Amino acid sequence: MNLKSKIFYWYIVFVLTFACLALIPTPDKATLSKYHLSPTGLRLLDLTLIIPEAGIWFAAFYGSQKFHRYSQLIKGGKDGPHIAKLSLGLLLLSFGLPIAATLSGALNIVALHQPGFKSASVIISNYIGIIFPLLAFFWISLGARGLGDMSRTRPRFSIANLVVLSVFTLGVVFCCLIVLNHRTLRTTYGLSPQLVMLTVGLPYMYTWLLGLSAIAELRAYTLKLRGVVYRKGWRLLILGLASIILVDILLQYLVTLTSWLTSLSLNGLLLLLYGLLFLLAGAYIVLALGAQRLMKIEEV
């Protein structure tokens, strides 16, 4: 079985498991009363989230599979090993989406039946949410650095500073939110503020640094690229890749704002979720289009 078929079967398995985990268990009474919904109403609402989520996973699997195919086609070339690292990072990122969601759903169900497991379930879910983007961005930044070394390009001093400043800002605001929300911290993270900062905040900040640095490296690489036709494909690819990294950072950041998110009205919450899902799906589609263009160059 080739990777395309394997990815497709995994996709089906993840969607079905995720849908079962979300729809089969009896809905939480607190959620029903908070949003004034009936159990059927909540399940229908869940379905309106499962469908776009499945759409994103499809876009993510499709985009990363196309990119992987492209990396296979050029594996003998000078840029081959670096593109392979980018491809591995993207596969981790796209597989991380359903794995984190499915495991989190499964742990939630266990916690519903075993109230003592609630904290552990939250902690495990949060760490699963961290580990995949961390590994993915590590490989993506390794690939981006490799391409930069190969073409002897480095991001401009101002861009490098902007990256560091952005990570500092995101990190400081993140720590402030942790301190301000320390009362709800136990429900959001199941850990003390110090532990959250060290074991959640620090890995997140490192992940954001890797992601934003990779964007800066890839931008510098494309600016120096020669070949008018080739550059067009790469620009699309980089646009997709950069958008994926940015939206993923935004998603991770929003997780830190859980207490603010839960205070939103149902309409506001759905609008925000749909907007993010739409952005992420769009980013993966742009990536797939870029990979498809570059693949054509290598196939004809």
Partner 1 sequence: MNSPSLYDDVVTITYDYLGPAADRFVVRQIRNHLQKDPGDLRPKDLRELIDWIQLAMRLISDDSSAIDRYVADLESLANTQKPGVHGKARY
CB 256 within 8 A of CB 177: yes
- Residue 234 beta carbon to partner 1: minimum distance, rounded to whole angstroms: 8
- Residue 282 beta carbon to partner 1: minimum distance, rounded to whole angstroms: 22
Is 294 an interacting residue with respect to partner 1 (CB under 8 A)? yes
Smallest CA-to-CA distance from 129 within 60, 191, 203 is with 203
- Residue 93 beta carbon to partner 1: minimum distance, rounded to whole angstroms: 24
Q: Which stretch binds partner 1 (CB under 8 A): 24-32, 50-58, 122-130, 221-229?
A: 221-229
Q: Cα–Cα distance between 287 and 245 in angstroms, integer?
A: 11
Q: Which is nearer to partner 1, 43 or 232 (CB)?
A: 232
* Eight-class DSSP state of 116: G
Q: Which stretch binds partner 1 (CB under 8 A): 3-11, 41-49, 90-98, 228-236?
A: 228-236
Tokens matching residue 182: 């320390």
Q: Cα–Cα distance between 137 and 126 in angstroms, integer?
A: 17
Site string for partner 1, 45-84 (x = CB under 8 A): -----------------------------x-xxxx-----
How many residues bind to partner 1 according to rule CB under 8 A? Answer: 20
Long-range contacts of 4-11 (CB under 8 A, 24+ apart): 4/65, 4/69, 7/61, 7/64, 7/65, 8/61, 10/61, 10/95, 11/57, 11/58, 11/61, 11/98
- Residue 299 beta carbon to partner 1: minimum distance, rounded to whole angstroms: 9
CA distances from 43 to 37, 51, 112, 187 (A): 9, 12, 17, 24
Q: Which stretch binds partner 1 (CB under 8 A): 1-9, 95-103, 268-276, 289-297?
A: 289-297
Per CB under 8 A, the list member of 128, 225, 246, 279 interacting with partner 1 is 225
The footprint of partner 1 (CB under 8 A) covers 74, 76-79, 225-232, 234, 293-294, 296-298, 300
